[in-house]
Amino acid sequence: MELKTLTYLALGDSYTIGEGVEEEERYPVQLVSRLNSLGGQYFFPPKIIAKTGWTVDELETGINAAETSAEGYDLVTLLIGVNNQYRGRPVADYEKDFEAMLQRAIAFARGNHEHVVVLSIPDWGVTGFAKARNTDQEKVAAEIDAYNAAKKAICDKYEITFIDITEEYRQIGGQAEMMAGDRLHPSGLVYTRWTEKLLEEVKKINF
């Protein structure tokens, strides 16, 4: 029996490109490895369009500059927004930009909303980087919550699977082994946890 071959597009920022970790530790790469180990199907290596520091509009520009498949993708994941919050942009602006980006993600998934998965924005306020700068953790947490609430509401509107990675990250993100060398970005151990959450949802998709 011939294996079904599948494609995956991962859109995002530093969390998706895996700033500070090896390529195989990035969650899109870990996810493909886990999916392929299940048998019955084969995912090609993920197409990742993501860069550290990107806001939603910068991701849009990055997508326009990248080579993407005209045939679309079998799976699309989206994790974007932390840099909008970090730069102090209003939630209302993010809502507008994120909705347009989500529509684009759905289009990449050939219009199939069931093949798109969105992850919540992690709270960078718990990291060693934030603590070293005496960051107002409560302020960051409140703003991240507002962003994520807006994000989830838009996902609900389009019937998109939304995975909350924020609450767990608040518990573990400041632990030494859970941080990359810059003490801001997650280590591969965190990405493994996100991969597990993604895996559970992606396994439900009928490819």
204 three-class SS? coil
Query: What's the pLDDT score for residue 199?
Result: 98
Contact assessment for residue 116 and residue 109, using Cβ atoms and an 8 Å cutoff: yes
1 confidence band (pLDDT: 50, 70, 90): low
Closest CA to 196 of 79, 30, 38: 30
Other beta carbons less than 10 A from residue 124's beta carbon: 23
Please check whether residue 37 lies inside any domain of the structure: yes
pTM of the model: 0.97
Is residue 128 included in any domain, yes or no?
yes
Across the chain, the runs of DSSP E, i.e. the strands, are 4-6, 8-12, 41-43, 47-50, 75-79, 116-119, 161-163
Q: Which residues contact 127 (CB under 8 A, 6 or more apart)?
A: 173, 174, 179, 183, 184
φ/ψ of residue 110, rounded to 5: 60, 30
- Asked, for residue 176, whether it belongs to a domain, the answer is yes
Mean pLDDT of 130-152: 96
Cα(173)–Cα(166) distance, integer angstroms: 9
The reported pLDDT for the residue numbered 171 is 97
In a domain, 207, yes or no: no
Which residues, at least 6 apart from 113, have a Cβ–Cβ distance to it below 8 Å?
A: 106, 158, 159, 160
pLDDT number for residue 40: 87
- Sign of the Cα pseudo-torsion (95, 85, 60, 116, in order): negative
- CATH number, domain with residue 127: 3.40.50.1110
**What's the domain range around 34?**
4-202
Flag whether 154 is in a domain: yes
155 assigned to some structural domain: yes
CA distance 42 to 125: 38
Helix axes 27-37, 188-202, angle to 10 degrees: 50
Identify whether 175 is part of a domain.
Answer: yes
Average pLDDT of the residues in 138-162: 98
Question: Mean pLDDT across the stretch 138-144?
Answer: 97
Q: Would you state the pLDDT for residue 3?
A: 85
Domain-located, residue 136: yes
For residue range 38-57, list pLDDT tens digits in order.
Answer: 988 999 999 999 999 999 99
Give yes or no for residue 168 having a pLDDT over 70.
Answer: yes
Q: How far apart are CA 160 and CA 154, in angstroms?
A: 8
* Mean pLDDT within 185-193: 97
Predicted confidence (pLDDT) per residue in 84-100, tens digit:
999 999 999 999 999 99
| Tally of structural domains, the chain | 1
